[in-house]
Structure 1
Amino acid sequence: MDRISKLPLGIIETILCLLPIQEAARTSILSREWRYHWTKIPKLVFIENKFRVATDRPELSVSNKPSKRMKAAKRGKFFNAIYQVLLIHEGPIHEFTLDVEVDDSGVEIDHILLHLSKKNTLKILKLDITGDGYEGYVLPISLFSLRQLTDLYLSDCALYHERSFNEFSCLTTLYLKNLSTYDSTLMRLLSSCPLLKRLTLDSDCATISESGHTPIADLFKCLPVIESLSIAFSIVKCFFPERLPKELPTALVHLKYLCMDGVSFSHIYGLPFLALLVRSSPNLEKLKLVMYEEYWLDEDERVSLTLEDYSDITLEHLNEFEIRRFMDTEHELDYVKLILAKSPLLKKVSIFPGCKFDEDEKSEILKILFCSPCAAPVEGITFRF
């Protein structure tokens, strides 16, 4: 222990950051020197499911599940522990993670964010707020006072502020999962992040409400320096998809990585939306597609399209292509062949099946791909199936 105590303070803080907050707090009993080390760590992580109290014990009931009263009592202790840590914490807090289930207004979270906004040292904030039948924790305006943020992760939250946001002038990474908001509010949020390089939009029309008829192209005007984009295909339906252009007015020249989740080539907007982004990303290096099972599509969503309409696509810098939930439908296999024909620098193709293929079926698909026209030397491409 004496040897550890002599380590530089920065290394001790790094070690403590790797421990759950309760374990880090327990180091205060090691010695007088260690009593306050844990109160200075810049990274705080609070996960309700991993929080333990002294009275934790198996619930004596038929279902063996905690009662609502016990859950509420434990959650109260959880938030009290957070308040105590924040009250005695010394120095800057650079990273804060909160993973909790709520079933009311979330006023406790409001208090936490208000405290963090007054400190104004936070660089990374992760909020994962869940709850049974809960419509989403409504983010308070104090969130937008965190102007030092570089990374913001929001899961199952709600944002309905109509006023303009303060500029997130340092934000480079934004992760939004099931964010309940309006399309216009989402664009105001993105427009307030001029340095945004990495964006994940994992939402759908159940969470993004249409406040007007905003063209999808307007969404990408808010992303002038984007380098990595992961987007759920369903979001296109929230932004007046009837007006999908062939290309964006301003190309996404910095975009190197594109992931589209839940896309179907049989959907009326599937190929057009994907082609829009690919045509508008001249420097794309990696393309990842997660396919959507076509039998879930409604009849009015289906369309018969031919890939010949997209023969003008070029992928001069693409070196990696990945497709997940591959079902070997006609359009899926043809799209892989199109990628091969249009990517002179392609080095790696990864195909992850969405159903079970036997070895003969795999061999037949690979044979078709190896015999397809290929812009890059086929012997230089690694196929993963």
Structure 2
Amino acid sequence: MDMISKLPQGIIETILCLLPIKEAVRTSILSSEWRYHWTKIPKLVFIEDAFQVSANEVAELTDELPELPVWEQMFDNPSKREELFAKRCKLFYAINQVLLMHQGPIREFTLIMEYDRSFDEFNHSMQVDRTCVEIDRIILHLSKKNTIKKLHLDFNACYEGYKLLISLFSLHQLTDMFLSDCTIYHERSFNEFGCLTTLYLECLWTSEKTLLRLLSSCPSLKRLTLESDSSTISDSGHTTIDKLFECLPVIEHLSISFFIVKCFVPERLPKELPTALVHLKYLSLNHVCFIHIYGLRFLALLIRSCPNLEKLKLLLYSKYWLDEVDMGSFTLEDYSDIVLEHLNELEIVEFTDAENELDFVKLILAKSPVLKKVRIFSCSASEEDEESRISDVLLCSPCASPVVKIIVKRMNSN
């Protein structure tokens, strides 16, 4: 114990950051020297699931909970709603106490709250309003300190997402921001996030104009993930896809859902982007459909505009686009101008062995002189011989790289 106490403050803080926040606070009882060490840790993580409540705590904390008999019908266990409410109260009490006692700068802050979607409809009438007030208070506290560099807010299945306070966008020292199930609707421009290099947006409720304003305020953005259903992004019908990429001049790592791409007026898809994404090395495109010709055209547009691309990952999806099928022809000659001189890895998930999909892989093989690995995860339920057949077909096609390795596996295989 004495040896640990003599360690430099920075090392002690590192050790405490590795502990759950509850255990870090408990170190205050070890000795008088340790009483306030936890108040200076720069990384705070709060996960609602980690908070457990006893029967006594449930009874004490739910005295103010109104009688809503219809809630009782939603759970096999009638006490479930009281337990959820008590857990939420305990979570916010802990956060407020920690923030009140905290003395040093907060560099990283994480809040993960799990919601039961079936609970939301009734939860929204009372608890969500209270929850939002508590979250607002936390964000105001962080914005006043303005020392935070990494912010992670995950409100899983929140009703229409938590509406972010404008004060969040005054955190100018942020380098990493993760937002899940949030709502952002601001008419005015955001203050510049000059230090932000990593941005993760999942299930974001916003408009395309607000999204573009947000991305435009991040001139140093290098890593971006945009995962959302198209129903969460309202569009005006006047924004083209090239406007989205104009906001990403130095992007290096991009993961984007095709649902979002479809919000940007497919009919106006250009043949190439006005400005090439010369810094982009990793591209992941999710829910792209090869039986819809727009999916192929958009993919061709992107890889044409990424001359230094090193890894390409595709998650294919067809069932959502069956009402828009366009089996347009696809030949190598149509994309003969594509050059992938730096691509060394290709990964395709949910491969169905459709003709367009096979032709696309053949195109990549023919245009990638330094390609080393092709990994294909097939969703076919047929016999294992299908894996060998696909491999043989691809290996017999022209390959620009003499050392390419092709791996084909079924999705349910190890």
* Alignment match, 1:303: 327
1:49 aligns to 2:49 (yes or no): yes
Matched residues in 1 for 2:201 and 2:319: separation? 28
Residues 296, 160 of structure 1: CA spacing in aligned structure 2 closer, same or farther, 3 A cutoff? closer
Q: Provide the aligned C-alpha RMSD in A.
A: 1.9
In the superposition, the TM-score normalised over structure 1's length comes to 0.94
**How is 1:263-274 mapped onto 2 (pairs within 5 angstroms)?**
263-274=288-299
Unaligned runs of 5+ in 2: 60-72, 116-123, 409-414
Report the secondary structure of 1:322's partner residue: strand
* Alignment match, 1:11: 11
Paired AA for residue 102 in structure 2: H
1:228 aligns to 2:253 (yes or no): yes
Matched residues in 1 for 2:47 and 2:79: separation? 18
Matched residues in 1 for 2:299 and 2:338: separation? 11
* Alignment match, 1:145: 170
Matched residues in 2 for 1:180 and 1:65: separation? 32
| Contact 2:391/2:407 (<8 A) preserved | no
* Alignment match, 1:156: 181
Unaligned runs of 5+ in 1: none
* Alignment match, 2:146: 120
Matched residues in 2 for 1:200 and 1:187: separation? 14
* Alignment match, 1:86: 99
Report the secondary structure of 1:153's partner residue: strand
Matched residues in 1 for 2:389 and 2:39: separation? 61
Hey, which bits of structure 1, 4+ residues long, moved more than 6 A? 56-59
**How is 1:1-385 mapped onto 2 (pairs within 5 angstroms)?**
1-53=1-53, 55=55, 63-64=76-77, 66-101=79-114, 103=124, 104-105=128-129, 106-131=132-157, 134-292=159-317, 294-308=318-332, 309-377=334-402, 380-385=403-408
- Residues 261-314 of structure 1: per-residue CA shift (max 9 Å, x gap): 00111113100111111001111010000010x244233343323133223211
| Contact 1:151/1:174 (<8 A) preserved | yes
1:100 CA drift (Å) = 1.3
Report the secondary structure of 2:230's partner residue: coil
Residues paired across the two proteins, number: 380
Greater shift in the superposed pair: 351-360 or 232-241: 351-360
Paired AA for residue 76 in structure 2: S
Report the secondary structure of 1:125's partner residue: strand
Matched residues in 1 for 2:384 and 2:325: separation? 34
Paired AA for residue 128 in structure 1: D
- Residues 51-106 of structure 1: per-residue CA shift (max 9 Å, x gap): 134558999x9834743233222211210110000000011100000011464231
| Contact 1:125/1:151 (<8 A) preserved | yes
1:17 CA drift (Å) = 0.8
1:246 CA drift (Å) = 0.8
- Residues 182-207 of structure 1: per-residue CA shift (max 9 Å, x gap): 00000000000000000001013211
Matched residues in 2 for 1:119 and 1:290: separation? 41
Matched residues in 2 for 1:168 and 1:365: separation? 47
Matched residues in 2 for 1:213 and 1:381: separation? 43
Matched residues in 2 for 1:46 and 1:239: separation? 36
